[in-house]
Structure 1
Amino acid sequence: MSTTTEPTTNGVAAPPLSPLDVLTLPQAAAYLQLPPDMLQAEATNRQLRGRRLGDEWRFVREDLVRWVRTDPVPPAIPDETEEEYQEFLATLARHRDEIDRYHGCGKYAPE
């Protein structure tokens, strides 16, 4: 059985990583094939789980994988204004009234 190794930023092969291995910022960036500045910004903004120890960052490999797999949630964008919603409800009521009148039901039902 062959063992794969993970590269480090200085070009020296590191031992195989387990899901709980702790990586430095350059190692995490190399693992994800992303710029270190991007990972640092995501960690600083608390979008990516990491720990700052003095001037250095540490990341758990499992958290990096979870971050990549997580779909970002788009911001909620209202479909319509309150006035548009009220107009929609009024239109529904008019159409419902027309349908009830045509079929003789609702308030148009024979008694």
Structure 2
Amino acid sequence: MPNIVTAKEVGQYLKLSESTIYKLATNGEIPGFKIGDSWRFDMEDILKLIRDSKKESPNQGKNRNV
């Protein structure tokens, strides 16, 4: 069974404001769905997004010569 969470819970997990989560969801930048006027998120989809982001930027966080 999926772990369905609110925008507030996603925001707490990602350390982002609830309004930022709404904006990202509205723009299609994070996966979510609406039930009536309320946004809901499958935590597995959020975790997959994080894993996929890490794969796309393997050099992130490393020192770079300029």
| Unaligned 5+ runs, structure 2 | 57-66
Higher alpha-carbon Rg: 1
Report SS of the residue matched to 1:48: coil
Aligned-partner Cα distance in 1 for 2:15–2:25 = 16
TM-score (normalizing by structure 2): 0.67
Q: CA deviation at 1:68?
A: 2.1
Count of equivalent residues: 55
- How far does the alpha carbon of each residue in 1:79-108 deviate from its partner, in whole angstroms, 9 at most, with x for none? xxxxxxxxxxxxxxxxxxxxxxxxxxxxxx
Q: Out of 20, 25, 33, which is 1:38 matched to?
A: 20
TM-score (normalizing by structure 1): 0.43
Larger mean CA deviation between 62-71 and 50-59 belongs to 62-71
| Unaligned 5+ runs, structure 1 | 1-17, 74-111
Aligned-partner Cα distance in 1 for 2:24–2:50 = 12
Q: Out of 3, 19, 25, which is 2:7 matched to?
A: 25
Higher relative contact order (CA 8 A, sep 6+): 2
